[in-house]
Amino acid sequence: MIILLFSISISVIYIAFLIWISHSFSIQKLDFNENKLPSCSILIPCRNDSEYLKALLGQLNEQVHCLSSHEVIVIDDHSDIPIIADKSLSNLNLKVILNNGEGKKASLLSGINISQYEIIITLDADVKIGEFWLKAILSEFSQKDLNLLCGLIRYTSNYSIFQEFQRMESAAIVSISQAMLNSGFPSTCNGANMVFNKSVFHEIGAYSAHLNVSSGDDDLLMHQFAKHNIKKVAYSQSLESIVETYPETTIKDFFYQRIRWMSKTKFYKFPYVKLVNSLMLLNELVYFVFLSLVFTKFNAIAFYFLFLRYASDWYFAKSIQKFSPISYLKVLIMPYYLLYVPVSVVLSFWTKGKWKGRVITKGS
């Protein structure tokens, strides 16, 4: 009885949270600034992603004409094959430099330290940008007078079950993160698509508080900006500002990525983020409690809450369809995919994992 009551309590909180997120997530049609957009420095840290980088630079080459002036700085994070600037990209004021340290944060600092402009845009080398991405992301940043804007991220997929579930999970995480931040509750974001003010970046201490953590160039930095002035931090609401990236292709890399993400959670500035993560983990376990109660002795209450859980999941999926299509059928079996979460927690105690050939560091 105690287990059932606890499970019901977790389910009620989860359903209420998901309904709130569904109403808070927002995609809007934003007007682009027709005038020349402000000058900016576009930073792209890169380690062994030369083929992706070539495609991204080609896309940027077609968009930078909307800027008053600009620079694109590629920071080579000691790739196995050194990156060479492509001279055919005539529109880009392109510089390729070597990372002064090691890792993504050191790469970004190397680029920021030589950047000319106040507005910094960060992109991952393996993303794809849409035709109006640059105009959309800078217009939103300028019109809302922000210190930091988190851009939307969407996974592409080869339609395999493994990649489809990663795509759906990513869409859910981004939607929850956008809804929470724009409601005044910073949680997570992704540095693969971000704009911020350089002076404020230095004022809040840059990455100094977590420089020795492999991950966190994105949400840990966003937490610092939010602590400084929450009214000047937002998540993009524009579909045109989306960048697309790729899910993991192997189980090993998938778990290493999750271990890397977990390595930064102890540095989160806002305790409620850990509570939300705990809610999601507990809700996953509660699902199987209800399932066992239904199939062992058909507990009507457990069946009812299973139905309510799926109803709220479908309602949430419907609310984010415009951002990223979600298969209602796959929602049915999503809890089985999410079993990786407790497995990742256990693995994080057993192995440090590797990312891009380097051991993941978790700080102290």
DSSP for 220-235, please give it: HHHHHHHHHHGGGEEE
Q: What is the pLDDT of residue 33?
A: 63
Cα(132)–Cα(32) distance, rounded to whole angstroms?
9
Name the token pair of 19: 């309904």
DSSP element (H, E) containing 123: strand 119-123
Backbone angles phi, psi at 137, to 5 degrees: -70, -40
For residue 118, give the nearest of 157, 153, 150, 71 by alpha carbon.
71
Nearest-10 Cα torsion for 347, 349, 350, 356: 70
Match 């997530």 to its residue by tokens.
Answer: 25
Q: Across-strand partners of 40?
A: 70, 119
Domains of the chain: 2-24+270-348 (no CATH), 40-249 (3.90.550.10)
Q: What is the pLDDT of residue 214?
A: 67
Q: What is the pLDDT of residue 15?
A: 96
Cα(259)–Cα(353) distance, rounded to whole angstroms?
7
Q: How far is CA 23 from CA 27, 30, 212, 232, 312, in A?
A: 11, 19, 38, 22, 12
Q: What is the pLDDT of residue 234?
A: 97
Low-confidence ranges of the chain (pLDDT < 50): none
DSSP element (H, E) containing 56: helix 50-61
pTM given for the model = 0.92
Cα(226)–Cα(234) distance, rounded to whole angstroms?
9
